């Protein structure tokens, strides 16, 4: 008697480390997952940057950044001109995944890479027994999120505390801030927490200052978007928040001046352009023009300095220190606009 199993497409399979799913899939991007799967699938081939980028429809910079991510996470190790699986505690894997991508300038991790991953349940349980502050954070997180914490939620909090070095009080402040703006979730907490750690926000004072800045930016954008009649789908972009904060909090422009800059932008560009509006307001700020009266006075004074003259008998131009300005063009712009 003979036996045969028809595996079909399962005849060709390749291995993916369990830690990719267990520890990294929540923070890995689509591009990073794509690159890792491609390298694992073609581990028997010598791949170049060009062919790998072409196959995945990525730039070589995107490819290098994705490879750097898996090196930083301890999944791959760069050895000479090859990538090899990172050794585990159980065995030292020596089989190489040969893919000589260009050497990447990986960012120096703020913690040892052996710990830059989501902790397992045994380690979490032990840490909770030893650290009362961490246990208190877990209770507060349940209260804020209004739900029992899953093992994944607990691991995320421990990772932010133990791996990324954020004190429990800082994590609690961040979580409560996210709840105040309706964005309290473990995914958002992880994303913002890692960003804070990278920015060096590690004390309660620094966290409070950052929350104050974020709150001011949100309020400034609400004011600006209402003035300009802009309705966002979803959350405002980073550029919108930064520009609104600059115009309102840093430069202290009035509603009237912001609207004036917006209208001049639309008249000249034919559309809303936040960078152009910022350029107009920046010029006014540098010249100390903070009100419409001051703007009108400055522009009137600038016009008086100009001397009109005829040009070929057609139309007129103003000549100032050797430079000429067309009158018709001048009507549509301002000396204080970019």
pLDDT digits (tens, 9 = 90+) for 302-316: 888 876 655 555 554
Residue 130 has pLDDT above 80, yes or no: yes
pLDDT of residue 234: 63
CA–CA distance, 184 with 124 (Å, rounded to integer): 22
As a whole number of Å, the end-to-end CA separation of the chain is: 87
Instruction: Using DSSP, state whether 317 is helix, strand or coil.
Output: strand
Picking from 255, 21, 225, the residue whose alpha carbon sits closest to that of residue 36 is 21
Domains 14-110 and 214-298 are alike in CATH topology? yes
Q: What is the CA radius of gyration of the chain?
A: 29
Residue 96 has pLDDT above 50, yes or no: no
pLDDT band at 79 (very low <50, low <70, confident <90, very high): low
pLDDT band at 6 (very low <50, low <70, confident <90, very high): low
pLDDT of residue 110: 43
pLDDT of residue 17: 86
Tell whether pTM > 0.85.
no
**Of 92 and 319, the one with more pLDDT:** 319
Residue 333 has pLDDT above 60, yes or no: no
The third-level CATH classification (topology) of the domain covering 14-110 is Arc Repressor Mutant, subunit A (1.10.10)
CA–CA distance, 201 with 183 (Å, rounded to integer): 20
pLDDT band at 91 (very low <50, low <70, confident <90, very high): very low
CA–CA distance, 329 with 332 (Å, rounded to integer): 6
Exposure of 80 in the CB half-sphere (CA atoms within 13 A): 4
CA–CA distance, 172 with 165 (Å, rounded to integer): 14
pLDDT of residue 185: 92
Residue 112 has pLDDT above 50, yes or no: no
Residue 325 has pLDDT above 60, yes or no: no
Residue 248 has pLDDT above 50, yes or no: yes
Q: What is the pLDDT of residues 165-212, one digit of tens each?
A: 999 999 999 999 999 988 899 999 999 999 999 999 999 999 999 999
pLDDT band at 22 (very low <50, low <70, confident <90, very high): confident
DSSP-derived secondary structure letter, 249: I
Q: CB neighbours (10 Å) of residue 140?
A: 16
CA–CA distance, 309 with 299 (Å, rounded to integer): 20
The full set of domain ranges for the chain reads 14-110, 121-202, 214-298, 304-331
pLDDT of residue 318: 46
Which residues are within 8 A (CB) of 158 and not within 5 positions of it... i.e. 6 or more apart? 119, 123, 124, 127, 128, 134
Residue 220 has pLDDT above 70, yes or no: yes
pLDDT of residue 50: 86
Q: Of 31-35, 96-100, 109-113, where does the model show the most confidence?
A: 31-35
The third-level CATH classification (topology) of the domain covering 214-298 is Arc Repressor Mutant, subunit A (1.10.10)
Query: What letters, b where the CB count within 10 A reaches 16 and e where it falls short, cover 160-174?
Result: bbbbbebbbebbbbb
pLDDT of residue 107: 35
CA–CA distances in Å: residue 161 to residues 74, 119, 123, 136 = 19, 11, 13, 13
Residue count of the chain = 338
pLDDT band at 122 (very low <50, low <70, confident <90, very high): confident
Residue 106 has pLDDT above 50, yes or no: no
User: 52 with 38: CB under 8 angstroms?
Assistant: yes
Residue 321 has pLDDT above 50, yes or no: no
Exposure of 245 in the CB half-sphere (CA atoms within 13 A): 14
Query: What letters, b where the CB count within 10 A reaches 16 and e where it falls short, cover 263-278?
Result: ebbeebeeeeebebbb
Burial of 23 (0-12, 13-18, 19+ CB in 10 A): buried
H helical segments located in the chain: 18-19, 30-41, 49-56, 60-72, 121-130, 132-145, 151-158, 168-180, 186-199, 204-228, 238-245, 255-269, 274-286, 292-304, 327-331
pLDDT of residue 98: 36
CA–CA distances in Å: residue 172 to residues 117, 138, 186, 189, 198 = 21, 9, 12, 10, 18
pLDDT of residue 257: 94
């Amino acid at each position: 008697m003979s036996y045969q199993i028809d595996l079909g497409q399962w005849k060709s399979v390749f291995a993916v480390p369990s830690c990719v799913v267990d520890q990294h899939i929540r923070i890995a991007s689509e591009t990073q997952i794509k690159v890792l799967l491609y390298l694992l699938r073609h581990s028997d081939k010598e791949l170049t940057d060009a062919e790998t980028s072409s196959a995945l429809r990525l730039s070589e910079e995107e490819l290098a950044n994705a490879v750097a991510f898996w090196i930083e996470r301890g999944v791959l190790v760069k050895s000479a001109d090859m990538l090899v699986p990172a050794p585990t505690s159980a065995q030292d894997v020596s089989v190489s995944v040969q893919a000589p991508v260009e050497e990447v300038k990986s960012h120096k991790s703020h913690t040892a890479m052996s710990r830059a991953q989501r902790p397992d349940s045994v380690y979490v349980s032990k840490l909770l027994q030893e650290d009362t502050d961490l246990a208190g954070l877990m209770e507060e997180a349940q209260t804020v999120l209004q739900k029992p914490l899953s093992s994944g939620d607990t691991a995320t909090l421990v990772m932010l505390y133990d791996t990324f070095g954020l004190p429990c009080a800082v994590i609690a402040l961040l979580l409560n801030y996210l709840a105040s703006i309706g964005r309290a979730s473990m995914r958002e907490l992880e994303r913002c927490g890692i960003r804070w750690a990278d920015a060096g926000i590690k004390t309660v004072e620094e966290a409070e200052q950052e929350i104050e800045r974020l709150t001011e930016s949100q309020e400034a954008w609400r004011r600006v978007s209402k003035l300009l009649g802009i309705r966002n789908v979803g959350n405002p972009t980073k550029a919108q928040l930064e520009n609104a904060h600059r115009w309102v909090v840093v430069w202290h422009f009035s509603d009237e001046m912001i609207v004036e800059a917006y209208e001049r932008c639309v008249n000249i560009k034919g559309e809303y352009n936040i960078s152009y509006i910022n350029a107009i307001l920046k010029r006014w700020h540098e010249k100390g023009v903070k009100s419409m009266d001051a703007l009108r006075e400055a522009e009137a004074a600038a016009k008086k300095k100009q001397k009109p003259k005829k040009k070929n008998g057609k139309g007129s131009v103003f000549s100032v220190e050797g430079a000429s300005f067309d009158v018709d063009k001048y009507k549509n712009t301002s000396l204080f606009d970019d």
